[in-house]
Structure 1
Amino acid sequence: MTEKRKKPLPISVEQSKLLGNTLRVKIIGVLLEKPKTAKQVATQIGETPGNVHYHIQKLHKGKLIDLVEEKRVGGVIEKYYEANASSFESNEPVYPELSPNFPASFKSSINAALQLKENDKEQLLEEVSELLKKWVIKSSSADYIDQEEFVIDFTLVSRKEKTEDIKKNNIKK
């Protein structure tokens, strides 16, 4: 995976709305493996090529996937797309289902407090990102088409408040 796709992609509110559609998330999952055409994606996830093409155009316009290659095959131009990231970050909620007040039929939470060195923090984020990518790819296959949908959020939060850093910097000046 390219360096660009390893890190969470900062997204806008408009881009987060595009991710509210499960089919689009599945398409991104398939396009993480290698660049593919809309027809190849449709075959892999068990959807119609026209429907997948429509959603690929939305994702491309929203800059969540890139057109990476065009090949002329006979009289047809095949367009190959690739996902820009396997995870996303936003200051706005990406999935409304993650709101504490959402009346979900199932909700589970795992919490922990950790003391981490800077490189441990980066390693943890990378490992969680890889785990989520694995599950996005797995659940993007055709055998998951009629399964219940879930959303997941991993948030790593420092217990140190931002204002402490600001106060320290003011004292040093």
Structure 2
Amino acid sequence: MKHKDTSEHDALHDMLVINEQQKKLLQSALRITIMHALGHEPRTAKQVADQLHKTPGNVHYHIQRLYEGGLLELADTRTQGGIVEKYYKAKGTRFHYPGSKEDGMQEAESVMDWFSRLHLSAEELKEFRKDLITLLERWEKRTGESDEYAVSIRVARISSEQYE
């Protein structure tokens, strides 16, 4: 009898299932970073901008797109000195896009399709790749009579034109 690993169950439970439109909204390292900044406690766009060392207008724009796309919730509204402050909270910081399954893959519940966008220097990219290879090799060396899973990882630099 197979037992579902509770840590895997918790990891999948903690993931926010997103649709195609939301996936497109998250195709920005800055937006992923904003989601993490709003992941644990509600904050204003100004507070997030200060934390990330970005301009408030730029962060506010991205927060509005994420909110309109259903990835953020309005947690609180406060008035300070005649100014309305809106506090947003992320609905999740890890995302699962079910999409379509590939040939040979089982039902959608067993497909784990994670994605993210990262800001990496050339040196950080080398370290990231090394970490991924080490992780995969550790698991590839294992043998046993267990279920087989396909693993596909793509790391690609995004051209600056895609941000405009």
Paired residue total: 109
Alpha-carbon contact 1:16-1:94 (below 8 Å) kept? no
1:83 corresponds, among 90, 99, 111, to: 90
Task: Report the structure, 1 or 2, having the larger helix content.
Answer: 1
So what's the TM-score if we normalise by structure 1?
0.54
Alpha-carbon contact 1:12-1:90 (below 8 Å) kept? yes
Alpha-carbon contact 1:17-1:94 (below 8 Å) kept? no
* Paired AA for residue 159 in structure 1: E
1:13 corresponds, among 20, 45, 56, to: 20
Alpha-carbon contact 1:9-1:88 (below 8 Å) kept? yes
How far apart are residue 64 of structure 1 and its match?
A: 0.9
Uncovered stretches (5+) of structure 1, i.e. residues with no partner: 98-104, 116-157, 161-173
So what's the TM-score if we normalise by structure 2?
0.57
| 1:78-120, Cα deviation, whole Å (9 max, x unpaired) | 00000101211012377598xxxxxxx75433232598xxxxx
Q: CA RMSD in A?
A: 3.0
Q: 1:30 to 1:96 in 2, by over 3 A?
A: closer
Larger RCO (CA within 8 A; separation ≥ 6) = 1
Q: Partners of 2:16 and 2:75 in 1: how far apart? A: 18
Question: Structure 1 residue 73 and structure 2 residue 62: aligned?
Answer: no
How far apart are residue 20 of structure 1 and its match?
A: 0.9
1:22-101 matches, within 5 Å, as 22-92=29-99, 95=115
**Other-structure match for 1:139:** none
Moved segments of 4+, more than 4 Å = 93-97
Percent identity between the two aligned chains: 37
